[in-house]
Structures are given as C-alpha cells and as structure tokens.
Amino acid sequence: MRKFLIVFSFAVFFAVIFSGQKMYAASASPNLYLNGTKLNPPQPPTIVNGTTFVPVRVISESLGYRVDYNKASRKILIKSDEKSLTLSLDSAVALIDNRKVNMPSKPLIVKGYSMLPLRFIAEQFGLQVSWDAKSRSVLLVNPVVTPPSNAPGKNVIQNIVMSPDNSITLSYLGDVTYSTMYLQNPDRIVIDVPNASLDNGFNGFVNSNDPTTFTGSIAVNNPLVSQIRYGLYDDKTSTIRFVLDMASSAAISGVQNKEQKQIVFTLKPSDTVPTPKPSRKFKVVIDAGHGGKDPGAISASRSKMEKTFTLAIATKVQALLSKDSNIEVIMTRSGDTYPTLTDRTNLANGVNADVFVSIHANAASSAAHGSEVFYLHQNSKELAQIMHNNIQAMVGFYDRGVKTANFHVIRETNMPAVLLEMGFISNPDEEKKLFNDSVQQTMAEAIAVSIKQFLKL
C-alpha cells in the first residue's frame, strides 16, 4: 500500500517554478471541514468564479490520497486505492483512469502553492461536498467509513443447559441452524449458531456489553465436559460459538425440535480418538498485491517495484502450501496482471475460501521501517495475531504490530482475511532484504506456517 506516501517537496517546486506567475488574491477564504473537523491548510482555500480551490496538501494529508508531481510534464497524479486522477497545471482537462473529463478550471497557483478545484476532486473520490452559505464553509463527508456490521442476529439463544445424562439442551427463539466440529489438543467440541444473539436473560455470565467482543463461560459439573465457553465468533454473520472444553473425549450428535425450539445434543464417551484429518480441503486465497499496470510502490533505489516483490512471496507461499494435501491454494494472480480489488474479493468469496492473505510492501520516507499486519473484522483477529507472531519470530523486522484498517480486500472478504505489509521498499536497507531470495523464502515460510496453524493442520 502506498496511499499515505506524501511528496513533501511541493511547496519548494512550486515556489521555484511559478514565482513569476500571476497571483490571485485570497480574499474572504471559506472554511473547510472534513467529517466535522476543521482543516487548516498552509494556504487558505480560495474561491474564484464560484469554484473553491485548496492546496495540494489538503488532498494528500487530510484526505489521505497519494499525490505525485511530475516536474517535466507539469502533471499531478492523485491516487486512492481504487482510482487515479491526473491533472495538468496547464489544462482544465483531467484524466480519470485514462478517461478525459473537463474540470471547472485548470489549477491555480497562489503564493507558490498549487491550488486544485476541491469539489471536482472530492467528488471523483466519492466524497460528499456541500456548501454552507451562512458560515461560508465547504463541508466534506467521507461516506466510506462504514464500521463492520454489529447488528445482533435475528435469532435469540435463550439458554444452554447440561444435564447429568450427558445431554446439552440449547433453547432459542426464531429459526436457528447450527454446525458442530471436534477439535483436539486440547479436546474441544465447537457448536456454531449463525445469525444469532444471546437473550438478555441468557443463563451464562457475559463479561461485556459490547456485542462485538463479549465472551463468557458456564462451569459444568460433568465427567465429560469441564466448562462451556461462548462468544461472538464472527461479527459479519453474527455467529455465536459455543466451545465445550472436554474433560474426556466424546462424540456429539444433535437433534433439533423446531416446535419446541430446542436443540438437544447427546455426548457419547469414546475411547477411540476421533479422526484428526479434516474431511475436506481448505481453500486458501493468496493475493499478490498490485500487478500489471499498477506497480505499487517504487523502491528506494528506484529500480524495483512492489508488484514484483508481492508476486515472488505469493508464489513461494503457494509452493509451500501445495505440499499439504489438505490445502487448495488459489492465487488472485500468478503473473504480471492487474485484477481489480473487487475481482480479488469476488474470487475469494465466490470459492467460499477459508483464509485470505494479501501480500504487500510498504512505502513512506526512507527512514520508515518494519512489518505490520492488518485485519478488520473480528473473525480475522486470531489469524492476524498468528501471522504477526510467526513473522516476528522468523523474519524479525522492526515490529509495527497488529492493526485494523478499512482496506478493500480485508473489508469485502467474508472469511478470515489479513493484509501483510512485510517491510518498507522505500527504506534502502529493507529494499535489499525484501529482494533477497533467502529472506523471501523465510517470509513465505512464516506466512505458510501461520496459515496451517490457523487451520489447525
């Protein structure tokens, strides 16, 4: 990702290049608000013939788009994750993803600052723009900030009770479905109930009022089960997960009585250990970031591209995981091509993947360094933490931690999904490591090990 990389030398360029040009008076500057917060750009916004112009720095720093200036062609390139916009200092015609569009005016130069038509640019990137005449304010609202769905499921689980005859009764309102799964080391039985929430009078202890983070447990006095834990496993599907911590291994079977709105699970003690092998192949989608027309970030030496690095790592991860017969690896790209971000998430959702891993290298100033792991939805947190632990232990770049971010590929995927920033391609030292074959191999091993650990393979 390189969205936040900012070219700092604008003011210098423009001061030198345009010092002889005509200046426009910036009288009665309007106020500028982004999502309710007042912005104070270095050069105040100015209105000329009804068009509001703002300095480039508002576009890059406040709105977070990547901005590059090409001195020779006098062109400004503005990029978000999903769109690119090219403006010329000499023309009112802009290019949007290579399509020509007329702007209300060409950019202005005011006191050495390049000033861009705000409404035109903001609307291209999907911001809502409005004008409050009373306070003379331009109001920008970024509607992209959509938090994950926290709406409780429509089915309500009333209680879960274990009887001395080794049966467990789950009572509910609505029309629930469920699935069960046996896990080992230690022995656990998992019962998942999608599209559900807990009743206010639920019989367990709930340790949080936050519907996205609650967990709880019920002590059970039974020779087979030591306790029943529960929590919201997946906030996208509102899946409540019950985990039976087994004191002794047992097989579970469930019978649902839709009239009484109960599921009765029966546990049968078993001396035989359940088969540890999964009965199906896990689908793992590996996403090499960028590609084709989108090179991603350019390296400190200017000789290497992020898209080359991401494909090298993805290909190595594919080779490692393909050795495991329980895993099917699906690549979003295996050559120098550019699937859109939507293509990538549609692919993963379409095959109903179990895991999605997007590989990137970071870019900022040459001093920035280290690796970081991003996730968004609650169902991805465990995968993110496993990735972070293994990448730190095996690769050992400076630890920038586990973070959440609203990136398309981790927002629009239904399965556990992470985006990895393996290191900074813009840092001369890390550039060398990122393109070193044995470092790449270690990175791929850390990623492959993490995926297997997450899938309990």
**Residues at the contact surface with Zn ion, assessed by CB under 5 A:** 1, 289, 296, 360
Report the nearest approach of Zn ion to the CB of residue 223 (Å): 53
Q: Which of 155, 426 has the CB closer to Zn ion?
A: 426
CB of 304: closest distance to Zn ion in angstroms?
Answer: 13
Closest CB to Zn ion among residues 187, 431: 431
In terms of CB distance, is 35 or 334 closer to Zn ion?
334
| Among 450, 457, 267, 270, residue whose Cα is nearest residue 371 | 450
Nearer to Zn ion (CB atom), residue 32 or residue 285: 285
Smallest gap from residue 422 Cβ to Zn ion (A): 10
| Gap between the Cα atoms of 366 and 62, Å rounded | 22
| Separation of alpha carbons 246 and 16, rounded Å | 73
**Phi and psi of 208, rounded to 5°?**
-155, 145
CA distances from 328 to 222, 414, 418, 452 (A): 40, 18, 18, 12
Selected catalytic residue, list 421, 430, 431, 445: 421
In angstroms, give the least distance from the CB of 355 to Zn ion: 19
Q: Name the residue whose CB lies closest to Zn ion.
A: 360
Pick from 133, 135, 112, 136: nearest CA to 43: 112
- Give the ranges where 328-407 is alpha helix by DSSP (H): 341-350, 381-394
Q: Based on CB atoms, which residue is closest to Zn ion, 316 or 408?
A: 408
Annotated catalytic residue 412: no
How far out from the chain centre does Cα 14 lie?
A: 36
Tell me how crowded residue 415 is: count the other CB atoms within 10 A of its CB. Answer: 21
What 3-state DSSP class applies to 282? strand
CA separation for the pair 152, 368 (Å, rounded): 41
Question: In whole angstroms, what separates CA 215 from the centre of its chain?
Answer: 24
Strand 108-110 vs strand 113-117: parallel, antiparallel, or unpaired? antiparallel
Q: CB of residue 363 vs Zn ion: minimum separation in angstroms? A: 8
Q: How far is the CB of 18 from Zn ion (least distance, A)?
A: 33
Could you give the residue numbers annotated as active site? 421
